[in-house]
Each structure stands twice: as structure tokens, then as C-alpha cells.
């Protein structure tokens, strides 16, 4: 269930920090940042050109009320969950979790960057894995490769990418880590019904909790 972006912006007027404290998981920790920059200095992706703002800067922007910029930023999505910042933060902020919390909130508001690769991959991976409880590696690769930058099906691009990666694929097949036959249906976990009802229940619980917060 998504929440309405405009509605939230109006409700919290110019207090974006308060909004995240209420709505984003672990958002209540943001105010405790003391701007030392250890997180930024510890981040392995720090020098990646696609990275807009390190965590320290994101937190400062939250305080400065730069709502749109934070929520549409790709920064939270660049996190590799290595937990370096989490471990090093002298104020013991769960930075990795805060980043995920903000990312998730942006996703729920529907303002997160559409084709941000991490987010895109996350979605494909989840849909794939949630189907049978096992990841179908071949279908995952197909879903990932045969799409262009706009997210449209792209046969030629897919073939090109697949050829580029063929030596890796052959290596995986030889090592027994990839079964080409999965193109026609993969393996599953045992209790398919149980899996689906478990996922349904989890979704229900999550939505009730978030609905309570958003109310």
C-alpha cells in the first residue's frame, strides 16, 4: 500500500525531520547525528560517481527540510549494506537501517527514482523469489538483461549483454551453479501453499503497522 506524497508533505508542513521520525523506519535516529562524517568516510561506495549524498549529508538535508531532494535521491539506494558506517558511527546510529528506512518510505510515496538499478534489481529479485521460494537464476538474468534504460523489453540489448557475460555463465553451468533448463520452470521449495500464506500474513502485518503510522 502506498501513501500519498502530497498528503504527507502537507501534513508535516516544513518539518521533514518529524515526518521521517514518524514514517520512516529508524527515522527517529536521524536527529542524533553529530555530523562527524565518519559514515561518509567509511562508505566503500563513497567515490562512486552515481552517489549523490553520503549519509551525513542526507541527515543534514533532512534537518534543513529538503524533502524532495532527499526522497528522490539515489543515495539510499546506493547502499550496499556493508554495515561499515553502522559499526563505526560514534553515536551508534543504525545508519544502514536508516538509509533503508528512508529508501522504503520514498518507495511507498512513489517518488523514489524509477529505474535506479538497485531498486530495479530488488524488485525483480523479490518477484522472482517470492513466486516459488527459490530464485530462478535463468529467469532473473532474463528479466534483468532484456530491458533497456527506460525499462522496456529489449531483445537485441539482452542478447548483447548475455554474450558479454557468456564466459561467466558457462563457468557457472560447469560448476553446477546454473541450470539452463530452468528457462522452462525452476525448482521450488516444498510447501508452496504455506509459503504463500506466510508471505501474505507478513504483508498484512507490515501494512497494518504502516497504516497506523500514516493515519
Partner 1 sequence: MSATMAEKKHAAYICSGCELGARLDVATLVKTATKEGKMQLVREHAFLCSAEGVAMIQNDIDNEGVTHAAICACSRRAKTEAFNFSTTAISRGNLREGVIWVRPDTEEARETTQEMAEDYVRMACAEVKAMTVPSGNPNVGGSKTLLVVGGGVSGMTSALEAAKAGYKVVLVEKTGALGGWAAQNYKRVPTREPFKDPEDTGVADMVSRIAADANITVYLNATVTKTAGAPGRFKADITVESGSTVTEDVGAIIQASGFTLYDANKLPHLGYGASPDVVDQAGLEALAKAANGGAIKRPSDGKEVKSVVFVQCAGQRDASGEHLEYCSGYCCNVSVKQAMYFKDANPDVDTVVLYTDLRLPGNGEDFYRSAQNKGVIFSKGVVSTVAASGNGLTVNFKDLILNEDTQAQADLVVLATGSVPTSGPDLDALNAAVVASESKDADIKAEADLQVEKLRAKSVLNLSYRQGPDIPHFKHGFNDSHFICFPYETRRTAIYAAGPVRRPMDMVQAREDATGAAMKAIQAVENAGLGKAAHPRAGDLSFPTARLEGCTQCKRCTVECPFGAIDEDEKRFPLFNESRCRRCGTCMGACPVRVISFENYSVNTVGAQVKAINVPDEFENKPRILILACENDAYPALDMAGMNRHDYSAFVRVIPVRCLGSVNTIWITDALNSGFDGIMLMGCKHGEQYQCHFVKGSELGRYRLSKVGDTLKGMGLEPERVFDTEVAITDIVTLPQRINDYAAQLEAMGPSPMKGF
| Beta bridge pairs of residue 147 | 153
Among 11, 31, 88, 131, binds partner 1 (CB under 8 A): 31
- Write down the least CB distance from residue 166 to partner 1, Å: 46
Cβ distance to partner 1 smaller for residue 57 or 154: 57
Q: Which triple of cell numbers denotes residue 96?
A: 544502514
Cβ distance to partner 1 smaller for residue 35 or 80: 35
- Write down the least CB distance from residue 32 to partner 1, Å: 5
**Nearest-angstrom CA–CA distance, 135 and 174:** 19
Among 35, 80, 127, 197, binds partner 1 (CB under 8 A): 35
In 3-state terms, what secondary structure has residue 47?
coil
Q: Which triple of cell numbers denotes residue 20?
A: 521521517
For residue 112, count other CB atoms closer than 10 A to its CB.
20
* Count of residues engaged in binding partner 1, rule: CB under 8 A: 12
Verify binding: residue 72, partner 1, rule CB under 8 A.
no
Cβ neighbors of 2 (< 8 A, separation 6 or more) are 108, 109, 110
Q: Which triple of cell numbers denotes residue 106?
A: 520514498
**Nearest-angstrom CA–CA distance, 61 and 78:** 17
Cβ neighbors of 69 (< 8 A, separation 6 or more) are 61
Cβ distance to partner 1 smaller for residue 31 or 134: 31
- Give the angle subtended at the CA of 85 by the CAs of 79 and 91, to the nearest 5°: 135
x/- site string to partner 1, residues 78 to 117, per CB under 8 A?
-------------x--------------------------
x/- site string to partner 1, residues 39 to 68, per CB under 8 A?
-----------------xx--xx-xx----
**Nearest-angstrom CA–CA distance, 74 and 97:** 16
Among 1, 2, 13, 32, binds partner 1 (CB under 8 A): 32
Cβ distance to partner 1 smaller for residue 70 or 103: 70
| Interaction site with partner 1 (CB under 8 A) | 17, 31-32, 34-35, 56-57, 60-61, 63-64, 91
Amino acid at each position: 500500500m502506498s501513501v500519498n506524497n502530497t498528503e504527507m508533505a502537507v501534513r508535516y508542513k516544513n518539518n521533514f525531520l518529524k515526518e521521517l521520525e514518524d514514517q520512516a523506519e529508524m527515522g527517529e535516529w536521524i536527529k542524533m547525528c553529530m555530523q562527524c562524517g565518519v559514515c561518509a568516510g567509511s562508505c566503500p561506495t563513497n567515490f562512486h560517481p552515481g552517489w549523490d549524498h553520503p549519509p551525513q549529508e542526507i541527515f543534514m538535508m533532512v534537518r534543513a527540510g529538503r524533502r524532495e531532494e532527499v526522497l528522490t535521491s539515489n543515495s539510499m539506494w546506493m547502499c550496499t549494506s556493508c554495515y561499515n558506517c553502522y559499526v563505526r558511527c560514534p553515536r551508534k546510529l543504525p545508519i544502514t537501517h536508516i538509509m533503508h528506512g528512508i529508501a522504503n518510505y520514498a518507495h511507498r510515496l512513489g517518488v523514489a527514482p524509477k529505474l535506479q538499478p538497485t531498486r530495479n534489481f530488488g524488485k525483480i529479485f523479490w518477484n522472482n523469489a517470492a513466486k516459488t521460494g527459490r530464485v530462478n537464476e535463468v529467469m532473473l538474468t532474463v528479466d534483468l538483461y532484456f530491458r533497456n534504460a527506460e525499462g522496456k523489453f529489449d531483445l537485441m540489448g539482452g542478447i548483447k549483454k548475455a554474450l558479454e557475460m557468456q564466459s561467466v555463465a558457462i563457468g557457472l553451468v560447469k560448476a553446477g551453479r546454473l541450470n539452463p533448463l530452468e528457462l522452462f520452470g525452476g525448482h521450488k521449495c516444498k510447501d508452496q501453499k504455506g509459503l504463500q500464506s506466510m508471505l501474505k500474513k507478513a504483508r498484512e502485518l507490515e501494512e497494518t503497522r504502516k497504516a497506523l503510522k500514516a493515519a
